[in-house]
Structure 1
Amino acid sequence: MNDMPLEKPQHHIAVLADQCVQCGLCLPVCPTYALDGNEAESPRGRIAIAAALARGQIAPSPELREPLDHCLGCLSCQRVCPAGVQYEELLVETRALLGPSPQRPGLLLDIAKRPKLNRWLQRWARWTGAAIWLPALLPGKQFAAWRAAISLLKSPTPLARTQLAKQPGTRDAGIVALFPGCAASVQDAAAERAAEQLLDAAGYRVVRLPATCCGALDLHDGDAAGAEVSAKRLRDAWDGTHADYLVSVTPGCLSTLRRALTTVQVEDPYRLLAERAEKLRFRPLNLRAGLHIPCTQSNVARSETALIKLLERIPGLALQRLSTPPYCCGAAGSHVLQFPERAERLRDDVLSHIHTLDVQMLLSSNIGCRLHLAAGLAAQASTLPTMHPLTLLAQQQET
């Protein structure tokens, strides 16, 4: 045991790690443990590594940091932990202690965090058909992240484009600030319009914040300084909105938004809409839909009950929910780019389950999950369309 006094960050990591009683109840819900069957790839294995690093008992090395980098941050372990281990905080602080991985695809992530550049490049890629011919020009392991990123452009087109329809009525439910995000503001623009339409119909007044990154991609990759820059930008944008709630259509942003704005009520839209569901009416739709609940929606937003309540208000819609943990799709922010082979293996389990369902559409609330699953379906020559649940709700809303 190293008896030297620890610096404050290391001390806090050690304190967080000491909460773990090594009971192993996290193992059955951990996707990476299910994938590898390796204790180091389990929550308690990572906690042990983090504690040893913090106490100086072991030195950082590529072999030791790999299990920490592999963690999806799904937080299924935190949800079932009987000892209340703050696993997310432990993971974030340990990654910040180590710093970003040398293999982190920094340029790709910078593009993702800049909506205008992201939108322009995607338009160029679609116009030139780059998703078809460009991967062949990027062979080898060093371009694996780029090939993975290009594959995310192959998603099937949604069935309909949602048009924003403002409705007359009293806005007496409060003010909602809608956070567009970075990649979501480009890929999930229809879902954001849908959220605005539905919240408006439910009696909320909606204001929009600028499209920017919440900092999740940096925070989860160990770039604490970069995450703080995004957090400050977010706080500056929030000041002056006079809003009662901050919402995001992407549950993957919620934890970071809450971390940056500790006194603000940060939600995804489903709970707010479910509380005023009597104000919403939907047209019938005879459709069988598979419902994928992203890990962050289940473990951070905890809004799956509200989501299902809303979808069940569409007459004729038949829902079939996909399996619960450890069946994570493997997208997990930058994980899909940094570890594309592992992400594909995790996705394969989810796709196998989808293929057992007799459904005509796949619904998923998280942009990364939906693009990753859609890319897998496209690779299997499936034409199953994918859609954000909010887009479907707005499409069927009676105006």
Structure 2
Amino acid sequence: MINMPLEKPQHRIAVLADQCVQCGLCLPVCPTYGLDGNEAESPRGRIALAAALARGQVSASPSLREPIDHCLGCLNCQRICPAGVQYEELLIETRGLLGPAPDRPGLLLGVVKRPTLNRWLQRLARWTGAMRWVPAVLAGKTASSWRAALSLLPRPSKLSPATPVSQRAPDLGMVTLFPGCAASVQDAEAEHAAELLLRAAGYRVTRLPAFCCGALDLHDGAVADADRAAEQVRRAWSGAQADRLITITPGCLSTLRRALPGVRVDDPYALLAEHLDRLAFRSLPLRVVLHVPCTQANVARSDEALVRLLKRIPNLELKRLSAPPYCCGAAGSHVLQFPDRADRLRDDVLAHITRLDAQLVLSSNIGCRLHLAAGLAEHASTPPTLHPLTLLAQQLDIR
């Protein structure tokens, strides 16, 4: 990552943009270019727009910022780029220069970022049937954002919860779990599963308090809010006394690493895969489809470790969804800000799930999983969705 804190944002953007050789190899792996077939909606096009903005050749008009706001931040382009363009850094700097989009759903995101308020309002929404009447009293894009948010309310799992197993003496060191904001509410079961699996492997596990790491703000150009969240991360970590920080949500990884340079920040899969000899799993004759979120493939790069873990479950028939550009369209706040585009991106993924005739769909990112679950429900499809850690913990056996 390029780190030039004393230079102006415009200069940092120009330096980052100059790394691009305009070869076009990023186009086939870009979901938004595949959606629109528009050069401006490609990484190469966005880099050109960012460079022109930084050099004062164009103004920050709505037509300029729209393709930049549409970017999913999936980083398929960064992974494949032969010139090593640091696209994520360029996107963050450019959005920071532009500032948050005028129609950014700030109120909704404020709820998502506050776990206690999020939990309370979800209960209220179910009790009042808010899905039916809230969009009707709102207008325009605001109604679309609220409708998208209400459609993401989690549905109950049809699988039984994980049961505790005897734990190995902790001889592999201590790790600290970062609960996050939305994950601490919607993925509490998966966080419990991560603790159970890590302890079974021989780790001592502690927890940080539940709060937002700042990923939503950082990737939306809300720089001041993102900086405050990063400072909260640093304060919380300073008392952790652990070897590394663990999150079950790959969408948080990049932001946590940015806030804690020099700290090992990972998801749990590589740690668990390194100690497969310590873990045993019960048989499960089930046809399972694995959706690998873009951030898990391109930031964590832990997808192969996850596949190795799942393949240790006897009789599990594991099918993996296609590699990029299959993005589900959730992408942090994208699903709330651009619900129609998010639905179009999701349609290809749902069609692939249908072709594979899944009995269960696994995805490790909370936004992706809720977005996929909402789409499956709209299509009257039956497979439940689950975090892969939850499934692994459910099948964990005493050796």
Normalization by structure 1: what TM-score?
A: 0.96
Instruction: Note the 1:174-185 alignment, pairs <5 A.
Output: 174-185=173-184
Structure 2 equivalent of residue 129 of structure 1: 129
**8 Å CA contact retained: 2:136, 2:143:** no
User: Aligned pair 1:27/2:30, yes or no?
Assistant: no
Secondary structure of 1:288's counterpart equals strand
Instruction: Note the 1:201-280 alignment, pairs <5 A.
Output: 201-280=200-279
Amino acid at match of 1:363: L
Mind listing any 5+ residue stretches in structure 2 that lack a counterpart?
1-5
Secondary structure of 1:320's counterpart equals strand
Amino acid at match of 2:374: A
Amino acid at match of 1:304: D
Structure 2 equivalent of residue 3 of structure 1: none
Shift in Å, 1:162: 2.8
CA–CA distance in structure 1, aligned partners of residues 241 and 158 of structure 2: 34
Secondary structure of 2:297's counterpart equals helix
User: Aligned pair 1:330/2:329, yes or no?
Assistant: yes
Secondary structure of 1:318's counterpart equals strand
State the Cα RMSD in Å.
1.3
Shift in Å, 1:143: 1.2
**8 Å CA contact retained: 1:156, 1:384:** no
Shift in Å, 1:263: 1.0
CA–CA distance in structure 1, aligned partners of residues 155 and 45 of structure 2: 36
Secondary structure of 1:289's counterpart equals strand
Structure 2 equivalent of residue 396 of structure 1: 395
CA–CA distance in structure 2, aligned partners of residues 162 and 233 of structure 1: 32
User: Aligned pair 1:162/2:146, yes or no?
Assistant: no
Q: 1:13 to 1:200 in 2, by over 3 A?
A: same
CA–CA distance in structure 1, aligned partners of residues 215 and 140 of structure 2: 28
**8 Å CA contact retained: 1:156, 1:386:** no
Instruction: Note the 1:250-399 alignment, pairs <5 A.
Output: 250-399=249-398
Q: Deviations over 1:305-336 (max 9, x none)?
A: 10000000000100010111111000000000
Structure 2 equivalent of residue 67 of structure 1: 67
CA–CA distance in structure 2, aligned partners of residues 195 and 219 of structure 1: 26
CA–CA distance in structure 1, aligned partners of residues 111 and 313 of structure 2: 38
Normalization by structure 2: what TM-score?
A: 0.96
CA–CA distance in structure 2, aligned partners of residues 281 and 198 of structure 1: 10
CA–CA distance in structure 2, aligned partners of residues 7 and 59 of structure 1: 21
Q: 1:154 to 1:235 in 2, by over 3 A?
A: closer
CA–CA distance in structure 2, aligned partners of residues 39 and 158 of structure 1: 44
Mind listing any 5+ residue stretches in structure 1 that lack a counterpart?
1-5
Q: 1:154 to 1:172 in 2, by over 3 A?
A: closer
Structure 2 equivalent of residue 101 of structure 1: 101
Structure 2 equivalent of residue 49 of structure 1: 49
Amino acid at match of 2:183: A
CA–CA distance in structure 2, aligned partners of residues 398 and 183 of structure 1: 29
Structure 1 equivalent of residue 3 of structure 2: none
**8 Å CA contact retained: 2:105, 2:142:** no
CA–CA distance in structure 2, aligned partners of residues 158 and 139 of structure 1: 36
Secondary structure of 2:324's counterpart equals coil
Q: Deviations over 1:26-75 (max 9, x none)?
A: 00000000000000000000000000000101111000000000000000
Q: Deviations over 1:216-269 (max 9, x none)?
A: 000000011100100100110001211011011100000000000011100000
Amino acid at match of 1:90: L
Q: Percent identity?
A: 72
Secondary structure of 1:20's counterpart equals coil
CA–CA distance in structure 1, aligned partners of residues 306 and 56 of structure 2: 45
Amino acid at match of 2:282: R
**8 Å CA contact retained: 1:156, 1:378:** no
CA–CA distance in structure 2, aligned partners of residues 258 and 134 of structure 1: 38
Amino acid at match of 1:195: A
CA–CA distance in structure 1, aligned partners of residues 262 and 128 of structure 2: 46
Secondary structure of 1:48's counterpart equals helix
Aligned length: 393
Q: Deviations over 1:173-210 (max 9, x none)?
A: 11110000000000000000000000000000000000
CA–CA distance in structure 2, aligned partners of residues 319 and 114 of structure 1: 35
Secondary structure of 2:239's counterpart equals coil
Secondary structure of 1:206's counterpart equals strand
Amino acid at match of 1:392: L
Shift in Å, 1:284: 0.3
CA–CA distance in structure 2, aligned partners of residues 103 and 397 of structure 1: 45
CA–CA distance in structure 1, aligned partners of residues 175 and 395 of structure 2: 22
